[in-house]
Amino acid sequence: MARPLAGVRVLDLTNVLAGPFCCHQLAHLGAEVIKVEAPGRGDLARQLGMDEALSERLMGISFLAPNPGKRSVTLNLKAAAGKDLLKRLVEGADVLVENFRPGVMDRLGLGPEVLRGVNPALIYCAISGFGQDGPLRDRPAYDQIIQGMAGAMAITGDAGAAPLRAGWPVADTVGGLTAAMAVCAALNAERRGAFIDVSMLDSLLATMGWAVSNLLVGGVAPVPAGNENLTSAPSAAYACADGPLNIAANKQEQWEALARHLGLQALLDDPRFRTRADRKAHRTALNATIEAVLRTRPAAEWEAELNALGVPAGRVLSVREALDQPQFRQRDQIAEYELDGGRRVEVLRTGVKMDGAALTVEDGPPELGADTAAILGELGLNGDDIADLRAKGVV
């Protein structure tokens, strides 16, 4: 398997999701990721998730998902000895990622200027809710806060249900992906040493390009459209005999094939539905007519038949159904690991295949501080040194 970031060392000082998800990508691309955590408690995500037993042992499900393949070292960054050890780690690192609120690392005496003084080639990536400048820079931010302030919730759902948050932490994951992309680009620079400032708010808005451009360029404010695609018709989720089916007949030939297959060829001569613009203007009547036919049979039958005709269609699945479908299973995007104590867990990989193989990491998510002795040993500390640091609460 290709490992394009082999030989790159990343210090992961992040918590919960945006930062860990960034470093999750880097680890799967081959980087050595050292997760630097507070002694005794570590990443807050270690206490989160829908399995209390795992959370109590600081291996919460929320931690397991974005942290396979990393090594864990505990350092008290408020202690002088902890700061010194981080600087020694920085000397041999290529990248440092943190998602503290702006100014926290500076107050610790470990800001980007200090650490790049230790290692001028260090790529320092700071992920925050609102960025390192601006009037909101000091505000705390969580995923739902960003979804709301980016306008994403305002256009999610239909007119009767909006605003709605997405069903997963989209702002955190988009922020993490944005940061990982920027880090990879900075690693390719002729001269390393970039300071990367990633705002979750900026990152999420950047993914809303079509909706935002319709406002900025066309003067048309986006509105919640539910399961409708406002750029085309018929393109929506339709009720079938046993559940919903998404159909995206965005091209003229797809619309014509759909109408004929449903026995609605008379609509092709109806002036309300001749062009894309006509169909958009009369989408309510068109969708009701289509749905009346689709309700007569199961979604899976329509899905197979329409795709065979070149009309894009897909059932609306539960998460369990999505994971179990043969298409996803064949792509090898679920990894299984055994935790200390023998419990086996499954987590997702990154969704990427390279040279025909899914990106993988060999080791599962680390127990808190599992690699502290080994990593400090690599810095030249002996057993007595490490025992003394433990006694003082530095590690």
Active site residue ranges: 172
| Dihedrals phi, psi of 263, to nearest 5 degrees | 75, 25
User: Which residues are 143's β-sheet partners?
Assistant: none
Q: Where are the beta strands (DSSP E) in 147-296?
A: 195-199, 235-239, 244-248
Decide: 343 and 336 in contact? Cβ < 8 Å.
no
The CA distance from 131 to 133, in Å, is 6
Identify the three-state secondary structure at position 298: coil
Sorted by sequence, the CB contacts under 8 Å of residue 143 that are 6+ apart come out as 17, 169, 170, 171, 172, 200
Name the nearest CA neighbour of 143 among 177, 162, 169, 175.
169
Name the nearest CA neighbour of 172 among 132, 111, 124, 129.
129
The CA distance from 90 to 375, in Å, is 13
Report the b/e string of 180-195 with b at 16+ CB within 10 A.
Answer: bebbbebbeeeeeebe
Q: What is the CA radius of gyration of the chain?
A: 25
Neighbours of 234 (CB within 10 A): 26
Q: Where are the beta strands (DSSP E) in the chain?
A: 9-12, 32-37, 71-74, 95-98, 123-128, 195-199, 235-239, 244-248, 313-315, 334-338, 344-348, 353-354, 357-358
Name the nearest CA neighbour of 238 among 248, 230, 250.
248
